[in-house]
Amino acid sequence: MKIIMLGAPGAGKGTQAKRIADKCGIPHISTGDIFRANIKNGTELGAKAKSYMDKGALVPDELVCDLVVDRIQQKDCENGYILDGFPRTIPQAEALEAALNAIGQKVDFAIDIEVPDDNIINRMAGRRACVGCGATYHILFNPTKVENVCDVCGEKLILRDDDKPETVKSRLTVYHDQTQPLIDFYTERKVLAEVDGTQSMDKVFSDILEIIGA
């Protein structure tokens, strides 16, 4: 089962992707994780990606796609995978489709978690991240046992710049310009399914399981 998660920043796609991966026994793959793993392991693709990242430049679509395709051909992906954060644009989606066709694969589901912008801005303002281990929480939906102290490592929590309202508005603008067209792309391929992301996390999860038949 090959699944792509779509949705605006803060829609909850990462959280749901992890739950689906655990339930179905398939890997949850994010481009950030792929970059870090390849750089840490000193691969040729990792070195290429690092050369762009060190300059503060975006990693080109073709290279991102190469990294993703390399990852999904590893043994743990034999029964499927969930892609989270890729593709983000139509050129990336087209490159992925061509690469999958070349290895005899195709996307089974593109799941779009729909949440209005105002909800997302309010949601993100409540997110907190640990300065030590990077664990994330929410002051309302997923609070720590002790206020502003990480449950995992005991370090303090912060509101990341990425989660501040002005930054979120900017990220949403980019999302609507670049990523929203993917909904049409996957609708045309008859693999898109939309889920109401304003529901409880458990209800969103159960709706997704129903869609994918898990």
Q: Between the CA atoms of 7, 10, 11 and 15, what dihedral angle is there, to the nearest 10 degrees?
A: 100
Q: Between the CA atoms of 205, 209, 212 and 214, what dihedral angle is there, to the nearest 10 degrees?
A: 150
Which of 18, 48, 50, 171 is labelled catalytic? Answer: 171
Which of 18, 48, 88, 164 is labelled catalytic? Answer: 88
> In terms of DSSP H, where are the helices of the chain?
13-24, 31-40, 44-53, 61-72, 90-102, 117-125, 165-174, 181-188, 201-212
Q: Which two tokens stand for residue 94?
A: 């087209």
Which of 13, 71, 123, 128 is labelled catalytic? Answer: 13
Which of 18, 48, 160, 164 is labelled catalytic? Answer: 160
Which of 2, 71, 127, 128 is labelled catalytic? Answer: 127
Active site residue 127: yes
Active site residue 13: yes
- Residue 3 to residue 13: CA distance in whole angstroms: 12
Active site residue 88: yes
Active site residue 19: no
Q: Which residues are catalytic?
A: 13, 88, 127, 160, 171
